[in-house]
């Protein structure tokens, strides 16, 4: 597939005095990929994203342990025991972190469903509805929440139903064009292609490094961006999982980019000029054929892509493992 979307003359920022972070904000909505409130406030992103790994890490810090302790104290009177009690506490912890973040960012926060539901359509739908119900119970509008679900066939089907109910979804653990196309056809709000994890796989498999536009993760997001803009899909694209600032700079112009505090800091410290690389007008002329997907085709194409198959499975395993760690941590406190 040819993606000539970046062939036009790039747009260059007008002021070299701006940091790279401020320059990037001219082209792209910047999102903080963290559960650290201090970092979010420092870099002033539009939105923020969380996942089980980030929330688990945050609960281990003295600065944020009070959130978990308060939820445990508040939920003791809910009348639940065992696994049901722990699940209830985790749901409230996720929402508690989300509420704190929404006091800092002007936009949205992404809250992830349990990764162990990645192949469970009804379970994912129920969890998404429940998280939104909790947020709304605290007076938070559903328009400020993105429910994160893995980009499996089942996860995308669940998101399609939630979207029809006005529950906006962020399809995560996305590593291939077929996943992205199915998400767009399901009219999900946003997709999160994982740039860094794609890069990791190719670096290990090919035993070589990649930089700039040749980076396989950058190429993947560029391809998805061109496809969406070419065929007029409204689904937002948010590049995620970055390993270095070069990957971020190569995707300037993407709808959104979610970036760790470490890399936000590096962008804030640098004043080197950056230019817009992704442009919707250029994408309209890209030489791209439409991909026709049913379940069989989706599963076959995903299976044919060893990287996407392996990284999706690995991501689900890792997020599931961090949920289990959080469960054990809570059980010990109880």
Cβ(89)–Cβ(75) below 8 Å: yes
Nearest to 46 by CA among 255, 197, 224, 296: 255
The residue whose two tokens read 């379970």 is 123
- Residue 114 has which token pair? 């349990």
Q: What is the dihedral of CA 277, 283, 285, 290, to 10 degrees?
A: 140
Cβ(245)–Cβ(20) below 8 Å: yes
The rounded distance, in Å, linking the Cα atoms of 4 and 216 is 16
The rounded distance, in Å, linking the Cα atoms of 57 and 236 is 28
Cβ(59)–Cβ(329) below 8 Å: yes
Active site residues: 148
What's phi and psi for 163, nearest 5 deg? -60, -40
CA dihedral (302, 307, 308, 311) positive or negative: positive
By the 10 Å C-beta count (0-12 exposed, 13-18 middle, 19+ buried), 10 is classed as middle
- Residue 133 has which token pair? 């119900």
Element (H, E) at 236: strand 236-239
- Residue 299 has which token pair? 């599963």
Other beta carbons within 10 Å of 162: 24
Strands 145-150, 169-174: pairing kind: parallel
The rounded distance, in Å, linking the Cα atoms of 241 and 246 is 13
């Amino acid at each position: 597939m040819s993606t000539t979307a970046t062939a036009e003359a790039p747009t260059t920022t007008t002021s070299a005095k701006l940091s790279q972070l401020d320059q990037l904000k001219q082209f792209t909505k910047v999102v903080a990929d963290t559960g650290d409130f201090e970092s979010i406030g420092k870099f002033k992103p539009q939105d923020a994203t969380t996942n089980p790994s980030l929330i688990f890490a945050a609960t281990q810090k003295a600065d944020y342990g009070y959130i978990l302790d308060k939820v445990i104290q508040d939920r003791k009177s809910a009348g639940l025991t065992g696994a049901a009690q722990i699940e209830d506490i985790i749901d409230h912890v996720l929402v508690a972190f989300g509420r704190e973040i929404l006091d800092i960012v002007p936009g949205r926060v992404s809250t992830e469903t349990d990764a162990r539901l990645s192949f469970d359509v009804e379970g994912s739908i129920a969890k998404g509805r429940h998280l939104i119900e909790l947020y709304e119970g605290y007076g938070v509008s559903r328009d400020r929440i993105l429910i994160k679900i893995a980009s499996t066939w089942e996860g995308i089907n669940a998101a399609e139903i939630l979207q029809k109910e006005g529950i906006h979804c962020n399809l995560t653990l996305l590593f291939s064009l077929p996943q992205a196309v199915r998400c767009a056809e399901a009219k999900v709000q946003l997709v999160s292609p994982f740039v860094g994890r794609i890069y990791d796989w190719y670096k290990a498999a090919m035993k070589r490094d990649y930089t700039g536009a040749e980076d396989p993760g950058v190429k993947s997001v560029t391809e998805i961006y061109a496809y969406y803009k070419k065929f007029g899909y409204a689904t937002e694209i948010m590049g995620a999982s970055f390993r270095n600032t070069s990957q971020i700079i190569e995707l300037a112009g993407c709808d959104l980019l979610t970036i760790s505090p470490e890399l936000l800091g590096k962008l804030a410290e640098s004043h080197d000029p950056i230019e817009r690389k992704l442009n919707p007008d250029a994408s309209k002329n890209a030489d791209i054929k439409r991909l026709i997907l049913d379940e069989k085709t989706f599963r076959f194409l995903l299976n044919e892509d060893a990287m996407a198959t392996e990284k999706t499975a690995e991501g689900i395993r890792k997020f599931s493992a961090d949920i289990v760690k959080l469960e054990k941590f809570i059980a010990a406190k109880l």
